């Protein structure tokens, strides 16, 4: 209820105004009365009414001087209505100059006072709500600065606010899971659950990021709702009915220590993909650790093989292996992000090197920006899996267009570099291909395994050198890419059916 104060030197007038007007129907209660301006001013300072009804002509201090002094002395002056039996324009003009809301002549007209009180009650209510909103916004602003250790923060014991008058505080962070979320609607949904509870002045809820919200509650909030912290978290999660994760920091005893609660809530975030629950508290992870590490290179290489083979079943299996490995190795959430982005970079690089257009990937934007949002592990796995398989499809099309030319270039390279150390892996790296995939394509194109083809080329060149030069056998071996002459002889005999020396001797015998 708003407070109203009555000032008139006629006690019967005061009594009439007090009893004849249904103050409660306008949201007012009479908090006091006085017969002169001086007594009224002293009580107005103490009682701080929202509205003062005053006469003009009174002993000691008249009504207009009362208004003037109140406006000058009080930080927040009440609304004033002048009720006077003197229809003097000078009085009215002076009253309006002092900010009086209305000037009503005696005898008071019921309809006139009704409209005036209704209008002022609405103005007071709007002003009150605006002040509450401003206070809350200021509290949120200062609290956020404080939590982020901003040196310009003004949060102090001197700042009076109901929230800061208790003995225990807890910071809670909320992440909404998903990409296409109406954050404003979700925030209102979260806040409405809180507003339906008791002690509304004892929590502060604010947007913390594009998909995150911060909540700070004190002990009064929990006690007023007859709940433990865990009970409150469960009820809030259940009634909000949103796909979200809640991270609860440890409770601290002083508002100045809220940064500790904030930091422990942030630590809870790192356990998001390791704890199979939507609510993670500091108490749950107190004795646990997460690690900021990376997967072994073999995981990435194996996935790239699956991508280049465009085998969706293998992609799903390898993806499961990678995610399971992250769980078993207790990856922090930030480490999961690094792992995902590292593989994505490899995939996009492969598409670019194949002269492809990465923009053709259906969910490219979402995947590149996924870590700016918040996804559950299931959402991440679906989004990432679709991204990888779509990229594999694109690479397959590119390879179909490029494979004929690439394989021909590889064959040509073998014929011009057979005298150098050549392996499947070295050639694959040179032509930016996966070794296994390249070997399969080579066999499919030429009907012979890569290793056998190189050996055949080298043996053909060796026979040519044996026929046309007098190089010694070990020199022939070196010229066709063999570092070990004995191994060369063994392979030559295996393919040609005779040793290099015998091969040359037969040729010489035939000529002679």
d(CA 15, CA 42): 21
Maximum alpha-carbon separation in the chain: 153
3-state helix, strand, coil in the chain (%, to 5): 60, 10, 30
Q: Taking the C-alpha atoms of 452, 455, 460 and 463 in order, what is their torsion angle to the nearest 10 degrees?
A: -140
* CATH code linked to domain 162-281: 3.30.70.270
Instruction: Tell me the β-bridge partners of 176.
Output: 244
Close Cβ partners of 331 (under 8 Å, ≥ 6 residues apart): 273, 274, 290, 291, 293, 339
Number of Cβ within 10 Å of residue 192's Cβ equals 11
Q: How far apart are CA 478 and CA 507, in angstroms?
A: 21
Nearest to 43 by CA among 33, 53, 35, 51: 33
Q: Print burial letters for 140-149: b (CB count within 10 Å at least 16), e (below 16).
A: bebbbebbee
Calpha distance 176→55 (Å, rounded)? 59
The class that CATH gives domain 2-127 is alpha beta
291 DSSP assignment: B
Q: Please, are residues 53 and 79 in contact by the beta-carbon 8 Å criterion?
A: no
Measured CA to CA, the distance from residue 324 to residue 15 in angstroms comes to 81
Check residue 457 and give its pLDDT.
Answer: 94
Give pLDDT, residue 104.
77
CATH topology of domain 404-511: Arc Repressor Mutant, subunit A (1.10.10)
Three-state secondary structure call for residue 259:
helix
Contact present, 343 and 300 (Cβ < 8 Å): yes
- Can you give the pLDDT at residue 336? 96
Q: Annotate 425-452 with DSSP letters as a single string.
A: HHHHHHTT--HHHHHHHHHHHHSS-HHH
> Can you say whether the dihedral through the CA atoms of 43, 45, 51, 56 is positive or negative?
positive
For residue 366, what are the contacts with CB-CB under 8 A and spacing of at least 6? Answer: 179, 383
Q: Which of 148, 145, 341, 378 is nearest to 245 (CA)?
A: 378
Residue 4's nearest CA partner among 50, 45, 54, 55 is 50
Tell me how far apart the alpha carbons of residues 264 and 248 are, in angstroms, rounded to a whole number.
8
81: β partners: 53, 102
CA 133 to chain centroid: 25
Q: What is the mean pLDDT of each run of 10 residues along the chain (512 residues)?
A: 91 87 90 93 92 88 88 84 71 69 75 85 79 61 64 50 79 92 89 88 79 90 93 95 96 88 94 96 94 94 92 96 97 95 91 81 84 90 94 84 73 90 91 88 89 94 92 94 94 93 87 66
CB atoms within 10 A of CB 83: 23
Number of H helices, E strands in the chain: 20, 10
- Residue 277, pLDDT score: 95
- Name residue 170's beta-bridge partners: 217
The Cα–Cα gap between 383 and 378 comes to: 9
- Contact between 202 and 224 (Cβ < 8 Å): yes
The alpha carbon dihedral of 45, 48, 50, 51 has a sign of negative
Residue 504's alpha-carbon distances to 419, 470, 489, 509, 511, in angstroms, are: 20, 9, 13, 9, 11
DSSP, collapsed to helix, strand or coil, labels residue 116 as: helix
Domain ranges across the chain: 2-127, 162-281, 297-402, 404-511
What is the C-alpha to C-alpha distance for residues 131 and 327, in angstroms, rounded to an integer? 49
Distance of CA 78 to the CA centre of its chain: 45
Q: For residue 499, how far is the Cα from the chain centroid? A: 71
């Amino acid at each position: 209820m708003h407070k109203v104060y009555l000032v008139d030197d006629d006690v019967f007038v005061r009594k009439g105004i007090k009893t004849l007007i249904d103050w409660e129907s306008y949201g007012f209660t009479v908090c006091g009365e006085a017969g002169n301006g001086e007594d009224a001013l002293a009580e107005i300072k103490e009682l701080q009414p929202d509205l003062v009804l005053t006469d003009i002509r009174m002993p000691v201090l008249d009504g207009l001087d009362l208004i003037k002094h109140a406006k000058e002395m009080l930080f927040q002056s009440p609304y004033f209505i002048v009720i006077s039996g003197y229809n003097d324009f000078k009085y009215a003009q002076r009253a309006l100059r002092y900010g009086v809301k209305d000037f009503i002549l005696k005898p008071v007209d019921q309809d006139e006072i009704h409209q005036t009180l209704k209008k002022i009650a609405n103005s007071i209510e709007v002003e009150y709500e605006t002040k509450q909103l401003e206070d809350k916004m200021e509290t949120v602003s200062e609290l956020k600065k404080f939590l982020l250790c901003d040196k310009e923060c003004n949060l102090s014991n001197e700042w009076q606010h109901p929230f800061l008058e208790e003995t225990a505080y807890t910071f809670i962070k909320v992440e909404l899971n998903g990409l296409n979320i109406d954050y404003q609607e979700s925030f209102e949904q979260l806040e409405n659950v809180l507003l339906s509870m008791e002690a509304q002045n004892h929590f502060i809820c604010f947007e913390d990021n594009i998909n995150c919200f911060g909540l700070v509650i004190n002990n009064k909030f929990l006690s007023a709702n007859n709940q433990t912290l865990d009970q409150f978290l469960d009820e809030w999660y259940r009634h909000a009915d949103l796909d979200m994760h809640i991270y609860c920091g440890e409770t601290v005893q002083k508002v100045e220590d809220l940064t500790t609660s904030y930091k422990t809530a942030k630590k809870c975030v790192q356990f998001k993909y390791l704890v199979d629950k939507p609510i993670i508290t500091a108490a749950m992870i107190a004795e646990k650790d997460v690690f900021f590490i990376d997967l072994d290179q073999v995981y990435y290489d194996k996935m790239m093989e699956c991508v280049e083979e465009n085998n969706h079943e293998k992609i799903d299996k390898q993806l499961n292996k990678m995610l399971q490995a992250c769980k078993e190795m207790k990856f922090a959430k930030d480490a999961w992000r690094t792992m995902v982005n590292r593989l994505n970079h490899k995939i996009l690089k492969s598409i670019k090197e194949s002269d492809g257009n990465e923009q053709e990937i259906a969910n490219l934007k979402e995947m590149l920006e996924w870590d700016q949002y918040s996804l559950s592990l299931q959402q991440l796995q679906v989004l990432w899996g679709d991204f990888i398989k779509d990229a594999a499809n694109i690479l397959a099309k590119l390879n179909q267009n490029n494979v004929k030319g690439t394989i021909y270039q590889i064959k040509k390279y073998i014929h011009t570099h057979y005298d150098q150390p050549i392996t499947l892996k070295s050639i694959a790296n040179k032509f930016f291909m996966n070794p296994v995939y390249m070997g399969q394509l080579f066999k499919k194109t030429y009907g012979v395994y890569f290793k056998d083809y190189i050996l055949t080329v080298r043996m053909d060149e060796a026979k040519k050198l044996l026929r046309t030069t007098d190089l010694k056998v070990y020199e022939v071996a070196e010229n066709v890419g063999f570092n070990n002459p004995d191994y060369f002889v063994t392979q030559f005999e295996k393919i040609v059916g005779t040793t290099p020396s015998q091969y040359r001797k037969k040729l010489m015998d035939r000529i002679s």
